Homo-oligomer: A and B are copies of this chain.
Amino acid sequence: MAHSHNDHSSHDHVWAADLTRNQGLVLAALAHADTPLSAYQLLDTLRGDGLRAPLQVYRALDKLVERGLAHRLESLNAFVACADEHCRRKGLIAFAICNACGKVDEFADAVIEECLGDWAGVKGFKVERTTMEIRGKCAQCVQAV
């Protein structure tokens, strides 16, 4: 079934190639949204496309996150499409999440990553992945008061 995500992202050709149907549907839904979506919100969104069970969504999300095409926001139990154009971001990624409008700003900071590396080196801790989420108000919402 042709799902129509062609209109909202220049990413399409990047992933259209080797994503499975369900993965494509989920990533398209995430890319289309302007705030993070929970697995169940994704499921509701995609019922019209034939998805019926949570597991179908979770499985797709697992793969997408594994490949760095989507990210999980632990403090929200929700997911976003990767904001990086090439979906090849390496290293630590941080998220600034606006509590008012829900929008998320994804960024990387080499200095923070270095601090973390230093700490891990000293402690002998082997880092596998890092979650960094800032909650607060974005500039727009701060002003909107």
Which A residues fall within an 8 A CB radius of B? 74-75, 94, 96, 98-99, 105, 107, 109, 111-112, 115-116, 119-120, 123-139, 142
Contact = CB atoms under 8 A, between A and B. Distances in A.
B111 A125 contact: no
A19 to B, nearest CB: 26
Copies of this polypeptide in the complex: 2
Contact of A112 (B115, B127, B129, B135): B115
A119 B93 CA distance: 13
Contact of A136 (B94, B125, B142): B125
Contacts of A133: 74, 130-132
Contacts of A130: 132-135
A125 B112 contact: no
A74 B123 contact: no
A43 B142 CA distance: 39
Given A107-B119, A111-B115, A131 B125 contact: no
Contacts of A111: 111-112, 115
Contact of A142 (B126, B131, B138): B126
